[in-house]
Chain A
Amino acid sequence: MVNAVMFWIIAALTVIPAFSLLFARKAVHVAMSVVLVMVGLAAAYVTLGAPFLGMVQIVVYTGAVMMLFLFVLMLVGVDQREELKETIKGQRWIGLFTAAGLGAFLVSIVVRTTLPVAPTGVQGEPDVIAIMLFEKYVLVIEVLGFLLITAAVGALVLTHTPRLKPRRTQLEVQRDRVRVGADPVNKPMPGVYARHNALDVPALDPEGRPIEHSVSRVLKIRNQTVEGEQWRAQLEDPSRKEGDR
Chain B
Amino acid sequence: MDPINFVILASILFAIGSAAVLLRRNAIIAFMGVELMLNAANLALVAFSRIHGEIDGQIMAFFVLVVAAAEVVVGLAIIIAVFRARQTISLDEPAELKG
Contacts and interface: CB of A to CB of B under 8 A. Distances in A.
B50 A48 contact: yes
10 contacts: A2-B6, A2-B50, A4-B1, A14-B9, A41-B39, A73-B28, A99-B16, A122-B55, A129-B55, A147-B66
A64 B58 contact: no
B69 A115 contact: no
A48 to B, nearest CB: 4
A18 B10 CA distance: 12
Interface stretch (A30-38, A176-184, A225-233): A30-38
Q: Chain A at the B interface: mostly helix, strand, loop or mixed?
A: helix
B70 to A, nearest CB: 4
Interface in A81-136: 82-83, 87, 91-92, 94-96, 98-100, 102-104, 106-107, 110-111, 113-115, 117-122, 124, 128-129, 132-133, 136
A10 B89 contact: no
Contact of A117 (B8, B14, B31, B51): B51
A111 B8 contact: yes
A15 B26 CA distance: 21
A198 interface: no
Contacts of A122: 49-50, 53-55, 58
A217 to B, nearest CB: 27
B76 A68 contact: yes
A2 B1 contact: yes
A73 B51 CA distance: 39
Given A7-B6, A140-B63, A158 B77 contact: yes
B52 A118 contact: yes
| Residue in A49, A110, A120, A133 whose Cβ sees the most chain B Cβ within 10 Å | A110
Contacts of A92: 23
Interface of B: 1-9, 11-20, 22-26, 28-29, 31-33, 35-36, 39, 42-43, 46-47, 49-56, 58-59, 61-63, 65-74, 76-81, 83-84, 88-90, 92
Contacts of A56: 62, 65
Contacts of B14: 102-103, 106
Contacts of B28: 27, 31, 69, 72-73, 76
Given A82-B25, A151-B70, A53 B62 contact: yes
Contact of B36 (A37, A72, A119): A37
Contacts of A111: 8
B51 A76 contact: no
Give me the 10 closest cross-chain CB pairs, A-B, nearest first.
A103-B15, A118-B53, A99-B19, A95-B22, A106-B11, A151-B70, A21-B20, A158-B77, A155-B77, A4-B1
A37 B2 CA distance: 22
